[in-house]
Structure 1
Amino acid sequence: MTKHYLPARKPGNAVDRAPDPQQSMAALFGSRVRRLRTAAGLTQAELGRMTHVVSTRITQIERSSGAKPSLELARALDAALVADHLLIDLWPYVYREAFPDWARAFMGHSARAVAIHEYAAHVVPGLLQTEEYGRALLRVGRTLRSEEHLEERLSARLQRQERLAAADRPELWVVLDEAVLRRPVGGPAAMRAQLARLLATAEEPHITVQVLPFTQGEHDALGGSLTVLVLPDGTEIGYTEGAHYGQLIEDPEEVRSFAVTYDRLRAAALPPLMSLDVIRSAMEDDHHEASVPSRSDRRRLAQKQLQQSGRGQLRRDGGRIPRPRPRP
């Protein structure tokens, strides 16, 4: 009997088995790109030249390795492969994989919502963030895995903002806690640009921005941000979010309670025109680069004040040099 042996594959060989499309949306996206490319009779290098990327980037996409494709690249691939919008339609599901599980369901619902009512306790909502502000926030995320992961999330966040200019754009009503305006995320320059962005977007007829001032004191949503989504069929969905968690609320009674809380916050907030004045004031008074001393300047000033007050000196490592005790 003649025995037939298959040749052994070398590690990293180009004929290694492709990833299972059922494993992830990125694998499904890569599988479709590979199938369309093969049907078109194109090599990876040829497709790379058509979409202005190197051939290894096409390899990464087809094998769902490396960074996920940006929306711009998905559009270029769709056009080059005559995919009839298939790859563009798949892309939102691919980019959501860059986010924790608890965020994906909310993102899916918000993409369909006809109205988004949001109270932001700590930071500017993602739909209104500038690139610099968003990058500064995402960089300190506890679930961040790498620089590539950061860019994936940032690209996804900025892409979500495109819906505010689409034909089916939702009504967006945002109540910002005053703390959002005073915290210089990304530094003074980035914060000034962010506040300018708020002023510009608030002029859009479908966007309303209010500020809840510190003087309002305690309220029902002090623990974190909340959002109420209104879907096309009139169904309302609630969502609460902290720094590293999120919770979707779909029970009608609970959602109604969240909606009442949001209405109270909106009623307690400053009127829209007065709110814009507060945003301008924060931009002019709190976020001038020249008025914010550097960390080294602050340390030198603190050391000088301690020396002048006779309370002791600081060691170079930041500790205090103890005073000599009087002898008995």
Structure 2
Amino acid sequence: MAHINTLDPGASPLDYYGFELRRHREAAGLTQRQLGDIVNYTGSLVGQVETARKLPTQEFSERVDAALGTGGLLSRLVGLVMRSQLPAWFQQVAELEVRATEISTFQTHMVHGLLQSKLYMRSVLGVLDRDKLDDRAAARLARQCIFEKGEPPVFWMVLSEAALHQEIGGREVMREQLAHLLTFADDSRINIQILPYSVGEHAGLQGAFNVYRFASDPAIVYTEGYGSGHPTANPDTVRDCSLRYDHLRAAALSIKDSAGMIRRVMEDRYGEQVA
């Protein structure tokens, strides 16, 4: 466990954040409790963040930046801190998400992490491992901040109908997750298409994959296994997966009809009554 007198700012992004928080607080002549009172958090929580025992949130960072006049330093650091909490093999993917101008994903049995609701996310992450679940869920949720950028990426998700019926977390959680998907219906940058059972064999039978496109760099295809990720910029692989994705989008329901299917499943299977 880190100690405030020995905290090494070079040890990790979280340690650096804590070091800078303490440095600016002391420069302002405030105790942890006094700063906590100003930003409406406990002094104990301020201390835990300063000693790298607690992850800072975006809201906490913004309030402290305003209170200490740091020019947005902590708010800029919090994204780096959160990405550093992801599994080491996944951190490169989180960086791709931040840089991408377009993300295309095909998912076979669950909603992509960037569109997961909080409870659904916790259910997914908690399978066989509930250690530090709060921190792991917070780190995954923080990835969704890419949609709040000035120029967010265009996001396409082709989702197998099976994912609507795979009851992750129970009926209440699924109802909330499907309702969450419907909130993107009017967002032209976040597009969801359902691949119905009725299509039979399709171009995605080999499994889920993502394609990341950038303003000036080559596209990257990403696939995933148990505890490992496999990004590649191999032109043949990118070309093959791009073609597969075009066929999947063509076979899937339209965005409007997909929303209709999501709504029907939410009502019929999970008991939601929508006006």
Provide the TM-score with structure 2 as the length reference. Answer: 0.89
Given that residues 82 and 142 in structure 2 are in contact (C-alpha distance below 8 angstroms), is that contact kept between their aligned partners in structure 1? no
Q: How big is the shift at 1:255?
A: 2.3
- Corresponding position of 2:183: 200
What is the SS of the residue equivalent to 1:203? coil
The 1-side partners of 2:86 and 2:148 are apart by 24
Give the CA RMSD over aligned residues.
2.3
- Corresponding position of 1:21: 9
The 2-side partners of 1:72 and 1:252 are apart by 41
Aligned to 2:157, which of 158, 161, 174?
Answer: 174
The 1-side partners of 2:9 and 2:161 are apart by 46
Provide structure 1 residue ranges, at least 5 long, that are not aligned to the other structure: 1-11, 290-328
Q: Deviations over 1:224-279 (max 9, x none)?
A: 32111111225311111346432222333322222222222212222223222322
Given that residues 18 and 52 in structure 2 are in contact (C-alpha distance below 8 angstroms), is that contact kept between their aligned partners in structure 1? yes
The yes-or-no answer on 1:82 pairing with 2:69 is: yes
Aligned to 1:116, which of 79, 82, 103?
Answer: 103
Change in CA separation of 1:90 and 1:166 when aligned onto 2, cut-off 3 Å: closer
The 2-side partners of 1:123 and 1:189 are apart by 16
**Count, aligned residues:** 271
What is the SS of the residue equivalent to 2:71? coil
Task: Work out the percentage of aligned pairs sharing the same amino acid.
Answer: 37
Given that residues 158 and 194 in structure 2 are in contact (C-alpha distance below 8 angstroms), is that contact kept between their aligned partners in structure 1? yes
Q: Which runs of 4+ in 1 moved over 4 A?
A: none
Greater Cα offset, 94-103 or 175-184: 94-103
Change in CA separation of 1:83 and 1:141 when aligned onto 2, cut-off 3 Å: farther
Give the letter for the 2:93 counterpart: F
Q: How big is the shift at 1:220?
A: 4.6
The 1-side partners of 2:125 and 2:202 are apart by 28
Give the letter for the 1:185 counterpart: I
Given that residues 184 and 287 in structure 1 are in contact (C-alpha distance below 8 angstroms), is that contact kept between their aligned partners in structure 2? no
Given that residues 89 and 227 in structure 2 are in contact (C-alpha distance below 8 angstroms), is that contact kept between their aligned partners in structure 1? no
- Corresponding position of 1:53: 41
The 1-side partners of 2:88 and 2:170 are apart by 30
Q: How big is the shift at 1:177?
A: 0.6
The yes-or-no answer on 1:73 pairing with 2:60 is: yes
The 2-side partners of 1:36 and 1:217 are apart by 60
The yes-or-no answer on 1:258 pairing with 2:241 is: yes
- Corresponding position of 1:222: 205
Change in CA separation of 1:53 and 1:273 when aligned onto 2, cut-off 3 Å: closer
Given that residues 119 and 174 in structure 1 are in contact (C-alpha distance below 8 angstroms), is that contact kept between their aligned partners in structure 2? yes
Aligned 1:1-328 pairs, distance under 5 A: 17-65=5-53, 67-140=54-127, 142=129, 144-146=130-132, 150-233=133-216, 235-242=218-225, 244-288=227-271
The 2-side partners of 1:156 and 1:190 are apart by 20
Provide the TM-score with structure 1 as the length reference. Answer: 0.75
Q: How big is the shift at 1:221?
A: 3.3
Given that residues 118 and 228 in structure 1 are in contact (C-alpha distance below 8 angstroms), is that contact kept between their aligned partners in structure 2? yes
